[in-house]
């Protein structure tokens, strides 16, 4: 899986997040299910073809830990942020998004609705 760096241009992070770039159906379906933990500075970016509320929705089936979910539209603007409990089954963003960022729950305050984000390729990934 290719990896990217993600930073908040509105409120720059002390260190950008590293994230897996997940743009296939099966990668998005699995997400972080069945993992035991999630490193603090790592996440998973689920990528859709277009902005959509339904396509950007997530499930928490098979999750052993909570997540912070950041939904980002095609203009790279945060459109929703949610603390996802491992026992919730299905979560839909308030507004349409093309990107769904799943990160450590302690990172939820790093992103707010209206923030602009930046994605950067990691050379060699």
pLDDT in tens, 55-78: 999 988 878 899 999 999 999 999
Confidence label for 33 from pLDDT (cuts 50, 70 and 90) = confident
Q: Please tell me the CATH superfamily of domain 3-121, with its number.
A: Protein of unknown function DUF192 (2.60.120.1140)
pTM value?
0.92
Beta strands in the chain (DSSP E): 3-8, 17-22, 42-52, 58-59, 67-72, 78-84, 90-91, 97-103, 117-121
Q: What is the tens place of the pLDDT at every residue in 84-107?
A: 998 878 899 999 999 999 999 999
């Amino acid at each position: 899986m290719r990896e990217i760096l993600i930073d908040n241009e509105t409120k720059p992070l002390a260190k950008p997040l590293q994230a897996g770039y997940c743009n296939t159906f099966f990668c998005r379906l699995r997400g972080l299910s069945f993992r035991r933990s999630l490193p603090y500075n790592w996440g998973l970016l689920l990528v859709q073809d277009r902005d959509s509320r339904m396509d950007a929705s997530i499930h928490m089936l098979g999750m052993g830990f909570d997540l912070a979910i950041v939904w980002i539209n095609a203009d790279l603007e945060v459109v929703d942020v949610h603390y996802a409990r491992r026992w919730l089954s299905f979560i839909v963003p308030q507004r349409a998004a093309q990107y769904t960022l799943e990160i450590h729950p302690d990172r939820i305050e790093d992103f707010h609705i209206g923030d602009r984000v930046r994605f950067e390729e990691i050379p060699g990934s």
